[in-house]
Amino acid sequence: MAVSWAARTHPGLRRAKNEDRFCAVPERGLFVVADGMGGHAGGDVASELAVVEIERVVRATAALGQHDTWPMPFDSSLGRDGNILRAAFVGANQSILDDADASEELSGMATTAVAVLLAGLQATIAHVGDSRAYLLREERLTRLTGDHSWVEEQMRAGLLTAEAAREHPWRNIVTRALSGAGDLEVDVSQIELQPADRLLLCSDGLTTMLTDDDVGRIIDDATDLQRGCDDLVDRANAAGGSDNITTLLLAME
């Protein structure tokens, strides 16, 4: 099964710089979106460190043979790719901690990350924070990740509606991030893909501007992946573009 991909990142209309980053390593089946956090110094440094370190660890662990020592405790509930992504996120967290400790200016920097690692039709998804993964299958968009965010926790507790969450002044507050804090908890899941499935990775600059229905329709209507990414960014900007926007689309063929 071949995978094709496209991506677009845009600062949006209100932010001076783009603190989102993405990386695509199609030969390894790895795709990542990271959103460096506003309000922290060095958000762009954190998101850059995250994508670089995640790619480095995934490449390094891919080269490990059956009898090599795994670089961290192996969690048998996750499978090999789940362990690889978890190790990559823990590595990124450590890398952010090291740089933040070495520079007062970067102290407190943080980033979200969402990553997919493909092996044939198996997709392993890992995330921390409020960047998301979605599956579009037969015109239906399904969210694959639950945000680690204040508004989502309120929604899960039944205290906030989706509409209110979208407007809430605290909608950008993330409750889990790659920030160098110890004991990082990474959400890892797996799905079996089908031919013609599409996957979307995105930052919250997209999802705070557009509903899931809008996102699904735009991807479904797009004639190709790049057009899909461009249309998503254009529509998020047309809706206000209040934050950096990153979209990364994958298609199984």
The total number of residues written for the chain in this structure: 253
State the nearest-atom distance from the C-beta of 35 to Ca ion, in Å. Answer: 4
DSSP at 217: H
State the nearest-atom distance from the C-beta of 95 to Ca ion, in Å. Answer: 20
Total H helices, total E strands in the chain: 7, 10
Residue 44 interacts with Ca ion (CB under 5 A): yes or no: no
The two structure tokens encoding residue 58: 């995934």
Residue 152 interacts with Ca ion (CB under 5 A): yes or no: no
Work out the widest C-alpha separation in the chain, in whole angstroms. 53
Select the residue interacting with Ca ion from 236, 243, 247, 250 (CB under 5 A).
243
Q: Pick the stretch among 65-73, 96-104, 148-156, 240-248 that binds Ca ion (CB under 5 A).
A: 240-248
User: In terms of CB distance, is 81 or 243 closer to Ca ion?
Assistant: 243
Q: Is 111 exposed, middle or buried (0-12, 13-18, 19+ CB in 10 A)?
A: buried
Residue 130 interacts with Ca ion (CB under 5 A): yes or no: no
The secondary structure element, H or E, covering residue 98 is helix 79-102
Site string for Ca ion, 187-226 (x = CB under 5 A): -----------------xx---------------------
Interacting residues with Ca ion between 17 and 36 (CB under 5 A): 35
Give CA separation, 145 vs 6, 176, 190, 206, 222, in Å. Answer: 20, 13, 11, 15, 23
**Crossing angle (nearest 10°) for helices 225-238 and 212-221:** 140
State the nearest-atom distance from the C-beta of 150 to Ca ion, in Å. Answer: 14
3-state secondary structure of 214: helix
User: In terms of CB distance, is 39 or 65 closer to Ca ion?
Assistant: 39
Q: Is 248 exposed, middle or buried (0-12, 13-18, 19+ CB in 10 A)?
A: buried
User: In terms of CB distance, is 35 or 53 closer to Ca ion?
Assistant: 35
Residue 81 interacts with Ca ion (CB under 5 A): yes or no: no
Q: Pick the stretch among 53-61, 64-72, 179-187, 238-246 that binds Ca ion (CB under 5 A).
A: 238-246
By C-alpha distance, which of 252, 119, 93, 127 is closest to 202?
A: 127
User: In terms of CB distance, is 81 or 152 closer to Ca ion?
Assistant: 152
Residue 53 interacts with Ca ion (CB under 5 A): yes or no: no
Which stretches of the chain bind Ca ion, using CB under 5 A? 35, 204-205, 243
